[in-house]
């Protein structure tokens, strides 16, 4: 690790000149490495990030209901999008990892990258305050905010099917587990979705009951698009 770590990465990737570089050093240190790690800063950064993204969405979508705002926030601050941002910043190269994580490619692992990015946000909050952190988050998420999809596409299939049937005055679908196969660590669930009002049934499969139900709901939505009755 270079002698000026982490200042160099902070300057080049985030345009940050830290007051207390030890905060950022901790933020970029995984628990597998020796010394102070980023778990506490990740906890703090998660809360700060959720606040700032919620604030941004609240202002950007003034008539969106709470459920839609929650789905939009989840789209921005879940592990996958956070890891994508971290990768773009080269954060993995700035991480300090234990030898085991280095050997297994921990610097590319989604959970490690997303946690470290939240930890950096927590460090910025402690080091420079809320306004500076708000500016940092705005820069980091500017592209993702512009690329947010229509909120309707963020609803899961079960929710969309339920809302579609309710809008037409039909009763809600029911889901029944028909079969569970495989070993406990690798089970497959078979589920049947019944749309009683239309006399229709749809089967779904998945590695959990929830995924099987979502699969069945997806098939139901596709069939209803073709059928035209709902």
- Write out the catalytic residue numbers: 46, 118
Q: Which domain holds residue 213?
A: 155-227
* Domain edge (last residue) among 93, 120, 149: 149
Nearest to 174 by CA among 198, 140, 146, 151: 198
Q: If you search the block for the tokens 């990768």, which residue do you land on?
A: 87
Q: Is residue 1 part of a domain?
A: no
Q: Please identify every stretch of the chain with a pLDDT value under 70, giving residue numbers as ranges.
A: 1-3, 228-230
Give dist(CA 191, CA 224) in Å, integer.
18
130 and 164 inside one domain: no
Q: If you search the block for the tokens 């930890």, which residue do you land on?
A: 119
Q: Is residue 2 part of a domain?
A: no
Q: What is the pLDDT of residues 130-182, one digit of tens each?
A: 999 999 999 999 999 999 987 777 778 998 899 999 999 999 999 999 999 99
* Domain edge (last residue) among 149, 171, 202: 149
Helix (H) or strand (E) holding 2: none
């Amino acid at each position: 690790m270079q002698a000026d770590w982490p200042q160099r990465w902070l300057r080049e990737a985030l345009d940050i000149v830290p007051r207390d570089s030890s905060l950022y050093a901790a933020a970029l240190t995984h628990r597998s490495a020796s010394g102070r790690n980023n778990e506490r800063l990740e906890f703090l950064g998660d809360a700060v990030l959720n606040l700032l993204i919620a604030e941004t969405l609240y202002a950007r979508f003034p008539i969106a209901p709470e459920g839609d705002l929650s789905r939009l926030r989840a789209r921005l601050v879940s592990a996958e999008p956070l890891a994508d941002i971290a990768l773009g910043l080269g954060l993995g190269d700035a991480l300090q990892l234990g030898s085991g994580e280095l050997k297994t490619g921990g610097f590319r692992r989604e959970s490690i990258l997303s946690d470290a990015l939240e930890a950096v946000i927590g460090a910025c909050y402690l080091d420079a305050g809320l306004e500076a952190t708000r500016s940092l988050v705005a820069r980091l998420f500017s592209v993702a905010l512009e690329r947010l999809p229509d909120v309707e596409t963020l609803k899961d299939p079960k929710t969309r099917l339920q809302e579609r049937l309710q809008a037409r005055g039909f009763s809600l679908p029911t889901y029944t587990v028909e079969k569970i196969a495989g070993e406990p660590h690798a089970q497959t669930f078979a589920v049947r979705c019944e749309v009683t009002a239309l006399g229709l049934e749809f089967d779904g499969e998945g590695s959990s009951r929830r995924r099987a139900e979502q699969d069945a709901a997806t098939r139901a939505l596709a069939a209803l698009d073709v059928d035209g009755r709902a």
